[in-house]
Amino acid sequence: MSTKKAKNVPVICLDEVESTQQTARAWLQEERIRKETIIASRFQKAGKGRGNNTWISEKGKNLLLTWVLFPNFLKPEQQFSLSIAMSLAVADLVAAYVLGDCIKWPNDIYVGKEKIAGILVENDIQGDRFVSALIGIGLNVNQTEFPASLPNPVSLKSITGKTYDMSLLLDQLITLFRKRYETLKSGYEKELKEEYTERLYLYNKKTLCQTPEGEMRVRITGIDSYGRLLLTNEKGRTRAYGMGEIMFK
């Protein structure tokens, strides 16, 4: 284990963990972390995605980290704004190297129709107080071969043929996220939400979607204040859907 500071943010670098999210959660409970900190690892034995999903990665080839934040300036009902800020920052990083980036709701980063990064946000909210947030990030960087079980993975190297410096990418991500985070702290949540919406995969395009009401042709027209996806059907009716309720064809 080694510790350094990148852009004034402490970064704890580990060789191998079960998952950075699990490590961050345990250290937070043990009060080993009391301020904004990044926990990064070269390898995760059980990388965590949303729900029961796992994040599969070759050792030392991808950016794997959990960002620990204490966003006490936010109200609990604003918690999705953290997901928006980080999604935009990771998308900004990808856009610095390749074309065609977009955000697949709620917080996967795509290049075209292929997934290059995933983000997992876990918030600790007690009553009306926002205590802490763990933002897990997995960005495919130098890995070019993926398990057949993954439907549509892609990496920076598989797109460009170039090998990337992980430390440089982390420094750039810190700069990009700090910019988005400060924008959020300054009260410009609406502007971040508008940009996030415009960068959504399939935004305002007609597409088939499986919903609790059945299969229908819809357009993504935005998100509500809780981060639920707004879909408008061919009759012009709009409804909000949460995670796990819909599947695009």
Split at pLDDT 50, 70, 90, the class of 57 is confident
Task: Please tell me whether residues 126 and 223 are part of one structural domain.
Answer: no
Q: Count of CB atoms within 10 A of residue 71's CB?
A: 20
- Tell me the C-alpha distance between 112 and 214, whole Å: 27
Task: Please tell me whether residues 175 and 110 are part of one structural domain.
Answer: yes
Task: Please tell me whether residues 129 and 43 are part of one structural domain.
Answer: yes
Measured at the CA of 65, the angle between CA 176 and CA 145, to 5 degrees, comes to: 100
C-alpha neighbours within 13 Å on the C-beta side of residue 103: 27
- What per-residue confidence (pLDDT) applies to 112? 95
Task: Please tell me whether residues 86 and 65 are part of one structural domain.
Answer: yes
- Give the pLDDT mean for 14-29: 95
Number of domains into which the chain is organized: 2
- Give the pLDDT mean for 50-76: 86
Task: Please tell me whether residues 212 and 184 are part of one structural domain.
Answer: no
Task: Please tell me whether residues 27 and 83 are part of one structural domain.
Answer: yes
Task: Please tell me whether residues 104 and 10 are part of one structural domain.
Answer: yes
Domain of 192, CATH number, reads 3.30.930.10
Task: Please tell me whether residues 151 and 227 are part of one structural domain.
Answer: no
- What per-residue confidence (pLDDT) applies to 216? 95
Task: Please tell me whether residues 213 and 169 are part of one structural domain.
Answer: no
pTM for this entry = 0.94
Domain boundary among 198, 225, 240: 198
- Tell me the C-alpha distance between 126 and 25, whole Å: 16
- What per-residue confidence (pLDDT) applies to 56? 73
Domain of 217, CATH number, reads 2.30.30
The residue with greater pLDDT, 52 or 67, is: 67
- Tell me the C-alpha distance between 24 and 68, whole Å: 7
Run of H or E residues at 5 = strand 2-6
- What per-residue confidence (pLDDT) applies to 52? 54
Domain of 164, in residue numbers: 2-198
Q: Which tens digits make up the pLDDT trace of 194-211?
A: 999 999 999 999 999 999
Q: Per the structure block, which two tokens stand in for 176?
A: 């990009």
Bridge partners, 210 (sequence order): 215, 247
- Give the pLDDT mean for 29-43: 95
What mean pLDDT, rounded, does the chain reach? 93
Task: Please tell me whether residues 38 and 95 are part of one structural domain.
Answer: yes
Q: Count of CB atoms within 10 A of residue 18's CB?
A: 14
Matching residue, tokens 């204490």: 70
How, if at all, do strands 9-14 and 37-41 pair?
A: parallel
Lowest mean pLDDT among 52-66, 97-111, 135-149, 219-233: 52-66
Q: Which tens digits make up the pLDDT trace of 78-117?
A: 999 999 999 999 999 999 999 999 999 999 999 999 999 9
Q: Which tens digits make up the pLDDT trace of 153-192?
A: 999 999 999 999 999 999 999 999 999 999 999 999 999 9
Which residues, 6 or more positions from 153, have their beta carbon under 8 angstroms from its beta carbon? 114, 115, 116, 140, 146
Task: Please tell me whether residues 188 and 112 are part of one structural domain.
Answer: yes
How, if at all, do strands 47-48 and 54-55 pair?
A: antiparallel
Task: Please tell me whether residues 217 and 177 are part of one structural domain.
Answer: no
